[in-house]
Amino acid sequence: MLLTPRDTYDDLRRDFRWDIPADFNIGRVVADDWAARAPDRVCLEHFSPDGRHLAMSYGTLAAQSSRFAHALSGFGVRRGDRVALLLPQCFETVIAHVAIYKMGAIALPLALLFGEEALEYRLKDAGACVVVTNAFGLSRLAPIRSRLTALKDIVSIDGAVDGASGFAEMIEGRPSVFSVAESGPDDPALMIYTSGTTGPPKGALHGHRVLAGHIPGFQLAHAFLPQPGDKIWTPSDWAWAGGLLNALLPALMLGVPVVSSPAQKFDPHMAFRIMAEMKVKNAFIPPTALRLLKAVDNPRAQYDLVLRSIGSAGESLGRETYEWVKSALGLVPNEFYGQTECNFVLSSAAHLGVTKGGFIGKAVPGHTVAIIDDQGRELPAGETGQVAIRRPDPVMFLGYWNNPEATEGKFVGDWMKTGDLGRQDAEGYVQFFGRDDDVITSSGYRIGPAEIEDCLNGHPAVRLAAVIGKPDPLRTEIVKAFVVLQPGFQPSDELAAEIRDWVKHRLSMHEYPREIDFVDELPLTTSGKVIRRFLRDGELTRAPAAPEGGAVDPIIAAAGARRG
């Protein structure tokens, strides 16, 4: 499953073969196997703002996860049971994940930013029997605890309080060796709920093979990682498939140290400080976070960076952000693509010359990706259709939890439909246009929001932007933009007109936003994707929209980031 370095992408793809062992357990390959041959090797480092950083070895990870596995067994957790993790980036999160996999149970990562309704839905739907959390998570669980009938126990890493067992107390004195469950590649290991941008979230159930399936893409996006001194950090929540499967677990399997950092509102200067102080060589930074980093002027002069590779995924990177990373950080960012159900199947690889601004990249070795029509027929180069992945594929989900109808509806023949629109050029590069349900129909044109957002983000006054279609009796829909301004800029009728002209002159006369709302924040999923459903449904508190030629009222307030 490992990539053997080749001089060209074509050679790499031609020579690659899957070789996943019949007995494959995530917990063993990310901890116990390394502990057996290099127990003192550092696997985790934690950044502390006060400079007192922490480190953990593979030997300690293997021992502590074994102790926690024994403790969970004492709670009655058995193979196939769902154990939820409502935790930030910290050592205990990794220990709990590894313990769950070793037991043959199913890990259910959940974001601390989820509200009560989002947590209750997921915990009930999954039938979680144990939740591992912290003091903040306990406060979120308290109002819904009595309604979670399947939940037997809660474990807190902040100690025994409010009916929760203390993590440290639980593992004290437990055996440091645990007999890892025999797990085949298709045995369930992990369930991650879809972000819920449309419809209720669904639990995407993955087998242990999902980690093996991520290795080729992970190595491709990070220039044949591992290399001497490699160390990875991501601001992405480990509860999201991106943070967990695009960074944490693949790095641990390959022996690359992972840097964790305290949960916080994303701060560009703190992000650069983490990367510089912890000597991070590899970073996975979603496009939204990369755009926020642009607020730091001349970062290489301010921070002693040793970055070797930057990967980005979760939404369209766009040409403007791509060019900024090249000029400001001296690296070509490798954009890649996937979904919760089937991740890391397309990637750029700048070290092999596979990179093109505005395009995601090409199919990762071992994966078959195509653009199809509604009947599942492959479309020729240049035609717009739906991005699809052919099964079988190691990163492909086993199915939606307790929802066979939705699972069946995800496929047409052997193609897994992503719901994302794109097109492939003659060289094999795939360009992303947006979700099928996000495409705007205006005056007979079908307009993808990604290209307009990329253009808007290139304007000097724009920090972040999102675009939707607003119903219009004449044009069917018009393009409407929601814009977060850079510090130092104020909403005005003149600025709105300037931004409209910016898009008119750079894209086309039919794609510019006829309405612009200036807002303080955009509603985002935990993975950093804009929840356009909230924008379409008007779930923002703000002044009336600024129509073309109209006045812009002062902004009252914008809704905070909406999760779930």
Q: Taking the chain, what is the end-to-end CA distance rounded to the nearest angstrom?
A: 33
Report d(CA 255, CA 258) in Å as an integer.
9
**Which of 186, 207, 228 is the endpoint of a domain?**
207
Give domain status of residue 363, yes or no.
Answer: no
At residue 557, the pLDDT reads 20
Report d(CA 227, CA 240) in Å as an integer.
26
Range of the domain at 473: 439-547
Span 386-393, mean pLDDT? 97
Report d(CA 543, CA 558) in Å as an integer.
9
Span 312-332, mean pLDDT? 91
> Tell me: the pLDDT tens digits for 254-300?
999 999 999 877 899 999 999 999 999 999 998 888 988 998 999 99
Q: Tell me, what DSSP letter sits at residue 294?
A: T
Q: Bigger pLDDT: 437 or 491?
A: 491
Give domain status of residue 144, yes or no.
Answer: yes
> Tell me: the pLDDT tens digits for 534-547?
888 775 544 333 33
Give domain status of residue 492, yes or no.
Answer: yes
Give domain status of residue 338, yes or no.
Answer: no
Give domain status of residue 186, yes or no.
Answer: yes
> Tell me: the pLDDT tens digits for 129-142?
999 999 999 999 99
> What is the percent of the chain where pLDDT is above 70?
93
At residue 412, the pLDDT reads 97
> Tell me: the pLDDT tens digits for 189-232?
999 998 654 557 899 999 999 999 999 999 999 999 999 999 99
Find, among 286, 238, 242, the residue nearest to 98 by Cα.
238
Place of tokens 């102790």: 67
Q: How far is CA 374 from CA 386, 414, 418, 436, in A?
A: 8, 13, 12, 11
Find, among 347, 333, 222, the residue nearest to 282 by Cα.
222
Give domain status of residue 391, yes or no.
Answer: no
Q: Bigger pLDDT: 112 or 304?
A: 304
At residue 195, the pLDDT reads 64
Residue 83 has pLDDT above 90, yes or no: yes
Report d(CA 233, CA 83) in Å as an integer.
25
Residue 429 has pLDDT above 50, yes or no: yes
Residue 527 has pLDDT above 80, yes or no: no
- Mean pLDDT (the chain, rounded): 90
Beta carbons within 10 angstroms of residue 404's beta carbon:
9
At residue 446, the pLDDT reads 64
Span 432-453, mean pLDDT? 74
At residue 118, the pLDDT reads 83
Residue 563 has pLDDT above 80, yes or no: no
**Which of 207, 225, 256 is the endpoint of a domain?**
207
Q: Which residues are registered as beta bridge partners of 190?
A: 107, 206
At residue 287, the pLDDT reads 86
Report d(CA 8, CA 16) in Å as an integer.
12
Q: Bigger pLDDT: 318 or 332?
A: 332
Give domain status of residue 310, yes or no.
Answer: no
How many domains does the chain contain in total?
Answer: 2
State which of 224-238, 428-442, 492-506, 541-555 shows the largest mean pLDDT.
224-238
Q: Please report, for the domain that includes residue 527, its CATH number.
A: 3.30.300.30
Residue 377 has pLDDT above 70, yes or no: yes
Residue 92 has pLDDT above 80, yes or no: yes
> Tell me: the pLDDT tens digits for 342-351?
999 999 999 9
What is the CB-side half-sphere exposure of residue 77 using CA atoms within 13 A? 33
**Which of 207, 222, 247 is the endpoint of a domain?**
207
At residue 556, the pLDDT reads 18
Report d(CA 281, CA 233) in Å as an integer.
8
Give domain status of residue 487, yes or no.
Answer: yes
At residue 284, the pLDDT reads 97
Report d(CA 535, CA 537) in Å as an integer.
5
> Tell me: the pLDDT tens digits for 65-80?
999 999 999 999 999 9
At residue 540, the pLDDT reads 54
332's tokens:
């070509």
Q: How far is CA 471 from CA 440, 445, 536, in A?
A: 10, 14, 10
At residue 445, the pLDDT reads 63
At residue 435, the pLDDT reads 72
Q: Please report, for the domain that includes residue 139, its CATH number.
A: 3.40.50.980
